[in-house]
Amino acid sequence: MSKGRLRTEKICLNCGTEITDRFCPHCGQENIEPKQSVWHLINHFFSDITHFDGKFFITVKDLFAKPGFLSKEYMAGRRASYLDPIRMYVFTSAIFFLIFFSMVNVNTINFQEGEKTLSNDSTFKKEMQNVAKVRDSLRTVRFYRDTMKAPVAISIDTGAHHKGLRFGTESGFQTVAAYDSFQRSLPAGQRDGWMKRSFKRKAIEMNERLETEKGSLVKELINTFLHSFPKILFVFLPIFALILKLLYVRHRSLYYTDHGIFSIHLFIFSFLCLLGIFALTKFRSVTGWEWTNWLIVAAVLYPFIYFYKAMRRFYGQRRLKTFLKYSILFVISFFLMTLIFVAAIGYTVYEV
Encode pLDDT of 231-251 as tens digits: 888 889 999 999 999 999 988
Nearest to 236, CA basis, from 248, 227, 226, 228: 228
Tell me how far CA of residue 152 lies from CA of 173, 199, 221, 253, 322, in angstroms. Answer: 12, 21, 34, 67, 62
- Residue predicted with more confidence, 202 or 74: 74
Structural domain for 312, as ranges: 61-106+225-351
229 in the same domain as 203:
no
Residue 153 has pLDDT above 50, yes or no: no
Residue 41 lies in a domain: no
Please tell me the chain's helix, strand, coil percentages from 3-state DSSP, rounded to the nearest 5: 70, 5, 25
Nearest to 211, CA basis, from 316, 334, 115, 143: 115
Q: How far apart are CA 237 and CA 336, in angstroms?
A: 11
346 in the same domain as 231:
yes
Q: Given this model, what pLDDT does residue 172 score?
A: 60
Q: How far apart are CA 174 and CA 172, in angstroms?
A: 6
Residue 175 lies in a domain: yes
Residue 174 has pLDDT above 70, yes or no: no
* Phi–psi pair at 79, nearest 5 degrees: -120, -15
Task: Give kind and range of the element (H or E) at residue 163.
Answer: strand 163-167
How large is the average pLDDT for residues 42-46? 65
Q: How far, in whole angstroms, is CA 119 from its chain's centroid?
A: 36
229 in the same domain as 209:
no
Residue 188 lies in a domain: yes
The DSSP secondary-structure symbol of 192 reads P
243 in the same domain as 127:
no
Q: Given this model, what pLDDT does residue 167 score?
A: 32
pLDDT digits (tens, 9 = 90+) for 294-304: 999 999 999 99
271 in the same domain as 173:
no
Look at residues 181, 213, 245 and tell me which one is the last residue of a structural domain.
213
Count of other CB atoms within 10 angstroms of residue 43: 15
Nearest to 167, CA basis, from 178, 158, 180: 178
pLDDT digits (tens, 9 = 90+) for 115-144: 444 444 555 555 556 555 555 555 544 544
Q: Given this model, what pLDDT does residue 230 score?
A: 84
Name the maximum alpha-carbon separation found in the chain: 97
Q: Given this model, what pLDDT does residue 156 score?
A: 38
Asked whether the beta carbons of 201 and 181 are under 8 A apart, the reply is no
Residue 18 lies in a domain: yes
309 in the same domain as 232:
yes
Residue 197 has pLDDT above 90, yes or no: no
How large is the average pLDDT for residues 216-222? 67
249 in the same domain as 162:
no
Nearest to 244, CA basis, from 229, 234, 254: 254
Q: Given this model, what pLDDT does residue 129 score?
A: 60
230 in the same domain as 300:
yes
Residue 75 lies in a domain: yes
Residue 219 lies in a domain: no
Q: Residue 53 — very low, low, confident or very high, per pLDDT cuts 50/70/90?
A: low
Task: Give kind and range of the element (H or E) at residue 187.
Answer: none
Identify the weakest region by mean pLDDT among 72-81, 142-151, 194-203, 264-273: 142-151
199 in the same domain as 130:
yes
Nearest to 178, CA basis, from 148, 203, 157, 206: 157
How large is the average pLDDT for residues 258-278? 93
Q: Given this model, what pLDDT does residue 115 score?
A: 45
Residue 339 has pLDDT above 60, yes or no: yes
* Phi–psi pair at 248, nearest 5 degrees: -115, 45
Residue 147 has pLDDT above 50, yes or no: no
258 in the same domain as 172:
no
Which burial class, exposed, middle or buried, applies to 259 when counting CB atoms under 10 A from its CB (0-12, 13-18, 19+)? buried
Q: How far, in whole angstroms, is CA 268 from its chain's centroid?
A: 14
Q: Given this model, what pLDDT does residue 297 score?
A: 92
Q: Residue 211 — very low, low, confident or very high, per pLDDT cuts 50/70/90?
A: low
Residue 49 lies in a domain: no
Look at residues 162, 185, 213 and tell me which one is the last residue of a structural domain.
213
Q: What percent of the chain has pLDDT over 90?
A: 28
User: Of 197-206, 236-245, 273-282, which has the strongest mean pLDDT?
Assistant: 236-245
159 in the same domain as 139:
yes
Residue 47 has pLDDT above 50, yes or no: yes
Residue 109 has pLDDT above 90, yes or no: no
